[in-house]
Amino acid sequence: MIENLPPCPKCSCEYTYEMNALVVCPECGHEWVPAEGGAQTGAGSGEKVVKDAVGNVLCDGDSVTVVKALKVKGSPSGIKAGTKVRNIRLVDGVDGHDIDCRIEGFGAMQLKSSVVKKA
**Model-level pTM greater than 0.85?**
no
Mean pLDDT (whole number) for 43-59:
79
Our CA angle for 6, 11, 13, nearest 5°, is 50
Confidence of residue 41 (pLDDT cuts 50, 70, 90): very low
Q: Which DSSP category does 78 fall into?
A: -
CA 49 to chain centre: 4
Instruction: Summarize pLDDT for 60-97 with one digit per residue, the tens.
Output: 999 999 999 999 888 888 999 999 999 999 998 788 89
Instruction: Decide if pLDDT at 27 tops 50.
Output: yes
Mean pLDDT (whole number) for 105-117:
92
H-type helices in 5-78, by residue range? Answer: none
Instruction: Decide if pLDDT at 39 tops 50.
Output: no
- pLDDT given at position 75: 84
- pLDDT given at position 3: 65
CA distances from 119 to 6, 64, 69, 113 (A): 41, 5, 17, 13
The torsion of the CA quartet 36, 5, 30, 34, rounded to 10 degrees, works out to 10
Instruction: Decide if pLDDT at 100 tops 80.
Output: yes
